[in-house]
Structure 1
Amino acid sequence: MQTAKNAAASVKETAANIGAAAKSGMEKTKATLQEKGERMTAHDPTQKEMATEKEEARINQAEYEKQVAREQNATQRLEAEATGAHSYSTTGATGHGMGSHQMSALPGHGTGEPAGQVVEGVVKSRPIGMDTGTGKTLAGHNTKAGGGASGYGTGGAYR
């Protein structure tokens, strides 16, 4: 059981790291494209140099944030392996499992309770013909059920 938990924590960490790398890559691409645009519109070499420096700073910041996220994800995996569930983030922000706190306005949703629709003040339905409170099924009261197909009945669409 513990091995499965460790494997799940490792998979979650890997997925979070992939997300962090993707986010970092997008930030780097945006920085490069913005730098290209600024260099094209710049009129003097100083403005072009400033655009290049700004791009390098943004790329370094994106790489730094990716590394921080990877370290956070590794720490969270170790905590999850030692204590239980923990959430992962592509931004490196520490998350906590919701435990018994609901994540949704739906009753029972996100609480670990068995799945199923819950409506306050409404009794669960049962299969048709079962548990009518009379000790009999409704099929015993249906004149169309069972033998003799004489066609007598309510005259409705059910024949």
Structure 2
Amino acid sequence: MQSGRNATGTVKESASNMAASAKAGMEKTKATLQEKGEKMTAHDPIQKEMAREKKDERKHEAEYEKEAKKELNAAQRQATGTTGTHTYTTTGTGHHTGTGGI
């Protein structure tokens, strides 16, 4: 059953990572579109440069949030013990199967 939990944890982590990537992509796209709109209405080169800097800042923030979410997902997976590697012992457990005197 342990391998089932490992697979579930990995799938959940992957799904959450994909969602974080998709969200970051949407934020980057919105930043780019907003910059284009601001550049179209701006008449001053300084305003156009400010729009570009604002876009770059939003894109960096989206990327940072995506990476932070991925790290959180990995930490949560490890905290629940679904790392994908488990060891089991095949040596005795202290229970005797023989007769009395051991």
Any unmatched runs of 5+ in structure 2?
83-102
| Aligned residue number for residue 157 of structure 1 | none
Counterpart code for 1:59: K
In 2, Cα distance between equivalents of 1:24 and 1:66:
6
| Aligned residue number for residue 18 of structure 2 | 18
| Aligned residue number for residue 77 of structure 2 | 77
Looking at secondary structure, tell me which structure has more helix per residue.
Answer: 2
In 1, Cα distance between equivalents of 2:8 and 2:78:
12
Over alpha carbons, which structure has the higher Rg? 1
Task: Give the TM-score, by structure 1 length.
Answer: 0.51
In 2, Cα distance between equivalents of 1:62 and 1:45:
26
- Residue 81 of structure 1: how far off its partner (Å): 2.2
Spell out the pairing of 1:35-114 with structure 2 (5 A cutoff).
35-81=35-81
Do structure 1's residue 7 and structure 2's residue 7 form an aligned pair? yes
| Aligned residue number for residue 31 of structure 1 | 31
Counterpart code for 2:52: T
| Aligned residue number for residue 113 of structure 1 | none
Runs of 4+ in structure 1 off by over 2 angstroms are: none
In 1, Cα distance between equivalents of 2:81 and 2:75:
10
> How many residue pairs get matched?
82
> Any conservation in 2 of the 1:5–1:81 contact (CA below 8 Å)?
no
Counterpart code for 1:32: T
Task: Give the TM-score, by structure 2 length.
Answer: 0.78
In 2, Cα distance between equivalents of 1:32 and 1:77:
34
Is the partner of 1:81 in helix, strand or coil? coil
Is the partner of 1:6 in helix, strand or coil? helix
Any unmatched runs of 5+ in structure 1?
83-159
